[in-house]
């Protein structure tokens, strides 16, 4: 049976607004001086490699600042919360607030990118990030910090989503793999080096934890300057459109309610409780209302028709599962090295370098080879295999496992994440028209972040349960009765030698169990990848370039 790509049989509904017939009901008369509706702007010349790299440097700086702000507080949070007079609830919400805002805002940023000037939007996201970071560093109490972290998360969500969208607007899919690798490498470096930098800053007396928020500001300001001078995209602004605010509110509320539930369940209340019923039920109800609104909206935040494309549906689902495995590695490695192996905050960051190397190497090499060959599915399959193998091997580690074995497993995990994360976005971008580029790109990023947030909360609850069980059984063999309040993270340096060994073993074994659960999830992402149809990468962007 012969198959046809969307390139060969264009559907008028998928054509850019600027080339549709002028009698479009949703369009209004353009303001004076604006290009007439239905006419195409002058075609912009192709960007040369040096021009692309100059513009890309601004995107990379913004991406680095965004991801760094999300991970740098990992090792600094205990000191931050103690200085601000907060408790365990504040500890949880400083992280959750950013995740909520970042995840919930991604679809809105993506849709705005389809309607308005992408350059102005990423400049707005950078500005929001800079303001939020400066105020976060001045926080006087936990409530102020949590509130500002929500504001900061809005900017981070825009930076992550818009970076992929702008890259796609500049570069044809066939050439995009090469440059997507740079984004993947930057994501890897910021994700895993964040805890290391945060640990060093916190341990440096003349800096202090407030610089964990300030340090990203110079990168963001530099990104603003570079993008202003180098980013030149074809203008295709559409007039007379309406933003689907109802859809934006409903999807944000549904996702936020679900993330709040999964963050607090097992701690503030039982997993099986009336709170669970109310919050999960409320999230599902809001999701149903969102679907109803989107089917009737002229410019939906998430065009549901995109899910009729098998590639979009499968890449979104795969990204959800990849996000679980990816975030599990970055979050729980810090606890493994500090609590199970007794390393300092700084050294725990150093010991995760194999994962950084794996992610950086695989994202750049796979991107270049995809550009050279135009074939991308084999890299997704290989990435799924390595991701599954890495999680499975990490599921066997203990507190006294030789470091080289742990490093080898981390390397495999990093290689798998690097091959899948950016290339899933590339596969989705390749099958949509330019008018849906922002929505499709942000959807894949949204599901990856959403999966990571859900996964970290659920796997974190699993870790707490396993550590408590292993600690009780180990202490019982020593004849020691564990003290109450087992939910607190122990200060290992104050524990007697035999007790310290038991607790270290409990954390090592518990974190291994987390990766054993992540392994079949990674396998699920591999199985979904098998069914993604490989479509030849286009050689043009469709946006006038």
Question: Is residue 135 located within the same domain as residue 211?
Answer: yes
Question: Is residue 114 located within the same domain as residue 261?
Answer: no
Counting residues of the chain whose pLDDT is more than 90, the rounded percentage is 15
pLDDT at 159 over 70: yes
Question: Is residue 55 located within the same domain as residue 126?
Answer: yes
Is 156 a domain residue?
yes
Count of CB atoms situated within 10 Å of the CB of 308: 9
DSSP 3-state assignment of 237?
coil
Mean pLDDT of the chain: 78
pLDDT digits (tens, 9 = 90+) for 108-140: 887 788 777 888 888 899 999 899 989 988 988
- The whole-angstrom separation of Cα 520 and Cα 19 is 46
pLDDT at 172 over 80: no
Question: Is residue 253 located within the same domain as residue 130?
Answer: no
Count of CB atoms situated within 10 Å of the CB of 82: 12
pLDDT of residue 365: 87
pLDDT of residue 60: 85
- Smallest CA-to-CA distance from 342 within 492, 502, 466, 467 is with 492
C-alpha to C-alpha distances, 275 to 91, 233, 262, 289, 373, nearest whole angstrom: 21, 48, 11, 21, 52
Question: Is residue 375 located within the same domain as residue 467?
Answer: yes
C-alpha to C-alpha distances, 379 to 184, 282, 443, 508, 531, nearest whole angstrom: 14, 39, 21, 32, 14
pLDDT at 187 over 80: no
- Smallest CA-to-CA distance from 425 within 446, 399, 405 is with 446
Lowest-pLDDT range of 70-74, 140-144, 289-293, 347-351: 70-74
pLDDT of residue 398: 92
Beta bridge partner(s), residue 269: 265
Is 400 a domain residue?
yes
CATH number at residue 230: 1.20.1250.20
pLDDT of residue 14: 41
Mean pLDDT calculated for residue range 206-221: 86
- Binned at pLDDT 50, 70 and 90, residue 531 comes out as very high
DSSP 3-state assignment of 269?
strand
Question: Is residue 88 located within the same domain as residue 132?
Answer: yes
Mean pLDDT calculated for residue range 284-291: 91
For tokens 């007794």, the residue is 342
Count of CB atoms situated within 10 Å of the CB of 159: 27
Q: Which helix (H) or strand (E) holds 37?
A: none
Is 62 a domain residue?
yes
pLDDT of residue 512: 93
DSSP 305: G
Q: Report the range out of 138-147, 215-224, 398-407, 427-436 with the highest average pLDDT.
A: 398-407
- Binned at pLDDT 50, 70 and 90, residue 174 comes out as low
Cβ(152)–Cβ(212) under 8 Å? no
Phi/psi at 116 (5° precision): -130, 180
Cβ(297)–Cβ(107) under 8 Å? no
pLDDT of residue 509: 93
Q: Report the range out of 32-46, 186-200, 309-323, 470-484 with the highest average pLDDT.
A: 309-323
Helices 118-136 and 49-71: crossing angle, nearest 10°? Answer: 30
309/27: higher pLDDT: 309
Is 449 a domain residue?
yes
Question: Is residue 234 located within the same domain as residue 293?
Answer: no
Question: Is residue 163 located within the same domain as residue 231?
Answer: yes
Question: Is residue 224 located within the same domain as residue 273?
Answer: no
- The whole-angstrom separation of Cα 505 and Cα 511 is 10
Q: Give this prediction's pTM.
A: 0.73
Tokens of 293: 């609104």
pLDDT digits (tens, 9 = 90+) for 399-430: 999 999 999 999 999 899 888 887 888 888 88
pLDDT at 354 over 60: yes
Question: Is residue 184 located within the same domain as residue 310?
Answer: yes
User: Could you tell me the residue range of the domain that residue 70 belongs to?
Assistant: 47-244+298-479+488-530
Lowest-pLDDT range of 2-6, 48-52, 360-364, 401-405: 2-6
**Side-chain half-sphere exposure of 257, counting CA atoms within 13 A:** 19
Question: Is residue 467 located within the same domain as residue 402?
Answer: yes
Domain boundary among 279, 297, 315: 297
CA dihedral 325, 254, 267, 507 (to 10 degrees): 10
Cβ(255)–Cβ(79) under 8 Å? no
394/44: higher pLDDT: 394
- Binned at pLDDT 50, 70 and 90, residue 47 comes out as low
Question: Is residue 403 located within the same domain as residue 504?
Answer: yes
Dump the DSSP string for 368-424. Answer: HHHHHH---HHHHHHHHHHHHHHHHHHTT--TTS-HHHHHHHHHHHHHHHHHHHHHH
Domain boundary among 263, 297, 331: 297
Domain count, the chain: 2
Is 13 a domain residue?
no
Is 158 a domain residue?
yes
Mean pLDDT calculated for residue range 431-450: 78
Counting residues of the chain whose pLDDT is more than 70, the rounded percentage is 81
Is 318 a domain residue?
yes
pLDDT of residue 496: 79
Domain boundary among 297, 316, 339: 297
- Smallest CA-to-CA distance from 287 within 250, 313, 257 is with 250
Q: Which conformational region is residue 33 in: left (phi greater than 0), alpha (psi within -120 to 50 degrees), or beta?
A: left
Is 540 a domain residue?
no
Lowest-pLDDT range of 168-177, 363-372, 459-468: 168-177
């Amino acid at each position: 049976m012969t198959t046809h790509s969307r390139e060969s049989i264009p559907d008028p509904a998928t054509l850019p607004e600027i080339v549709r017939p002028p009698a479009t009901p949703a369009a209004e008369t353009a303001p004076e001086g604006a290009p007439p509706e239905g006419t195409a702007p002058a075609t912009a010349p192709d960007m040369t490699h040096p021009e692309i790299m100059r513009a890309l440097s601004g995107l990379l700086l913004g991406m680095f600042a965004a991801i760094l702000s999300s991970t740098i507080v990992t090792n600094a949070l205990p000191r931050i919360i103690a200085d601000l007079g907060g408790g365990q609830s504040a500890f949880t919400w400083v992280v959750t607030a950013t995740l909520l805002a970042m995840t919930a805002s991604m679809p809105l940023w993506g849709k705005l990118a389809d309607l308005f000037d992408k350059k102005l939007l990423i400049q707005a996201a950078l500005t929001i990030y800079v303001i939020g970071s400066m105020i976060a560093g001045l926080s006087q109490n936990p409530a102020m910090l949590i509130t500002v972290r929500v504001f900061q998360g809005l900017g981070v969500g825009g930076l992550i989503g818009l970076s992929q969208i702008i890259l796609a607007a500049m570069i044809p899919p066939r050439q995009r793999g090469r440059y997507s690798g740079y984004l993947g490498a930057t994501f890897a470096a910021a994700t895993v080096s964040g805890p290391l930098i945060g640990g060093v800053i916190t341990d440096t007396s003349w800096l202090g934890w407030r610089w964990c928020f300030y340090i990203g500001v110079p990168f963001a300001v530099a990104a603003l300057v570079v993008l202003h001078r180098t980013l030149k995209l074809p203008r295709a602004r559409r007039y007379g459109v309406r933003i689907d605010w109802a859809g934006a509110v409903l999807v944000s509320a549904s996702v936020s309610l679900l993330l709040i539930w999964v963050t607090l369940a097992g701690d503030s209340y039982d997993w099986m409780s009336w709170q669970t019923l109310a919050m999960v039920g409320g999230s599902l109800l809001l999701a149903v209302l969102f679907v109803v609104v989107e089917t009737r909206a002229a410019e939906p935040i998430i065009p549901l028709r995109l899910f009729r494309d098998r590639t979009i549906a499968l890449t979104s689902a795969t990204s959800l599962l990849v996000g679980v495995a990816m975030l599990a590695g970055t979050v729980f490695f810090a606890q493994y090295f500090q609590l199970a192996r007794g390393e300092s905050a700084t050294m725990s960051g150093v010991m995760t370098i194999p994962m950084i190397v794996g992610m950086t190497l695989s994202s750049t090499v796979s991107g270049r080879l995809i550009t050279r060959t135009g074939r991308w599915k084999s890299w997704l399959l290989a990435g799924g295999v390595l991701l599954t193998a890495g999680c499975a091997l990490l599921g066997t580690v203990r507190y006294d496992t030789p470091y080289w074995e742990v490093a080898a497993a981390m390397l495999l995990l990093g290689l798998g994440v690097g091959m899948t994360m950016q290339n899933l976005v590339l596969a989705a971008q390749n099958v949509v028209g330019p008018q849906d580029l922002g929505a499709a790109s942000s959807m894949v990023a949204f599901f990856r972040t959403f999966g990571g947030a859900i996964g970290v909360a659920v796997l974190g609850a699993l870790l707490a349960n396993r550590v408590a069980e292993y600690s009780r059984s180990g202490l019982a063999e020593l004849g020691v009765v564990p003290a109450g309040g087992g939910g607190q993270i122990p200060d290992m340096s104050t524990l007697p030698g035999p007790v310290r060994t038991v607790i270290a073993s409990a954390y090592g074994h518990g974190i291994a169990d987390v990766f054993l659960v992540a392994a079949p999830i990674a396998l699920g992402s591999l199985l979904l990848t098998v069914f993604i149809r490989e479509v030849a990468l286009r050689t043009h962007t469709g946006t006038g370039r």
